[in-house]
């Protein structure tokens, strides 16, 4: 039975209000009632899985350099939070500027999994592996090994797996599925190629992951995928009209930079009961 409204996924945490991929962004997302979190991962020079979107840390930190050439120790000296300036919430903030919060050190995926383990309610995690990268398929191998250490690589119930893996790289999704077939996978895409438009996914991909632009152009895609037994994860959904489009179309998961306002808009639109923790 399909749920009536989307689950709200905090894209890189509550990244509209805190610096992306920081502990503060994810803690705020949990406070805002996100049903799930999303992160991007790369491999550091010393072999750790770190939560960074870009190939370099220049945009999202006070440092510089390529992630695969930096150790975690080197990145521990860098501020990953101070660069982000939240829009002013008052006249006083407008005059003096809101204070950005420093967060020294890159966030490890191991830490993020620990945060979810210790959370008071179950919250899922969507993990995107980035490609192309220097280490190729090493990121998927390390991800499977880390999930196994946390007891997450072989969930008893795939439908309610605490973790889902996703990537734009078809080879990465296939590689991960072969190593951990019990963990659901999402194939991300920003344009329709081959049979995708009809809702047909490769056998190693469980969910379709179109960008919101594709659904604006072709909202019927969600129903076509659902008719073939495939749910849809849509990114990145912040605009109220897009939120309503996803809800009307039957999208299962919406990735948003502002989970609180997305949930509030669903409630205001009568699409979900705001008083509940999960958007169902």
Query: Residues 25, 103: contact at Cβ < 8 Å?
Result: no
CA distance 171 to 133: 13
Distance, in Å, from the CA atom of 87 to the CA atom of 249, rounded to the nearest integer, reads 31
Sign of CA dihedral 88, 91, 93, 95: positive
d(CA 210, CA 126): 15
17, 48, 53, 265: the active-site residue: 53
- Classify burial at 101, counting beta carbons within 10 Å of its beta carbon; exposed 0-12, middle 13-18, buried 19 or more: middle
DSSP 158: G
CB atoms < 10 A from the CB of 261, how many? 18
Which residue in the list 11, 21, 48, 265 is annotated as catalytic?
11
- Note if 53 is an active site residue: yes
CA distances to 23, 125, 205 from 151, in Å: 22, 14, 22
Catalytic residue IDs? 11, 53
């Amino acid at each position: 039975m399909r749920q009536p409204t989307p689950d709200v996924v905090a894209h890189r945490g509550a990244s509209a209000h805190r610096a992306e991929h920081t502990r503060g962004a994810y803690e705020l997302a949990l406070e805002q009632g996100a049903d799930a979190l999303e992160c991007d991962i790369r491999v550091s020079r010393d072999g750790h899985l770190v939560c960074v979107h870009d190939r370099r840390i220049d945009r999202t930190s006070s440092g510089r350099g390529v992630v695969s050439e930096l150790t975690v120790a080197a990145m521990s000296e860098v501020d990953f939070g101070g660069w982000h300036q939240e829009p002013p919430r008052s006249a006083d903030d407008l005059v003096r500027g809101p204070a950005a919060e420093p967060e020294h050190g890159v966030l490890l995926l191991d830490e993020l999994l620990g945060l979810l383990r210790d959370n008071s309610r179950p919250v899922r995690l969507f993990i995107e592996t980035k490609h192309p990268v220097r280490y190729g398929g090493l990121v998927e191998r390390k991800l499977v090994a880390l999930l196994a250490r946390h007891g997450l690589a072989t969930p008893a119930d795939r439908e309610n797996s605490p973790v889902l893996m996703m990537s734009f790289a078809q080879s990465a999704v296939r590689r991960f599925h072969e190593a951990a077939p019990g963990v659901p996978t999402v194939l991300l895409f920003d344009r329709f190629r081959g049979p995708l438009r009809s809702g047909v996914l490769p056998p190693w991909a469980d969910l379709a992951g179109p960008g919101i632009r594709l659904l604006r152009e072709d909202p019927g895609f969600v129903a076509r995928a659902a008719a073939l037994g495939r749910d849809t994860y849509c990114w990145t959904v912040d605009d109220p009209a897009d939120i309503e489009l996803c809800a009307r179309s039957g999208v299962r998961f919406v990735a948003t930079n502002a989970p609180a306002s997305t949930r509030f808009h669903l409630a205001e639109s009568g699409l979900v009961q705001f008083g509940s923790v999960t958007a169902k």
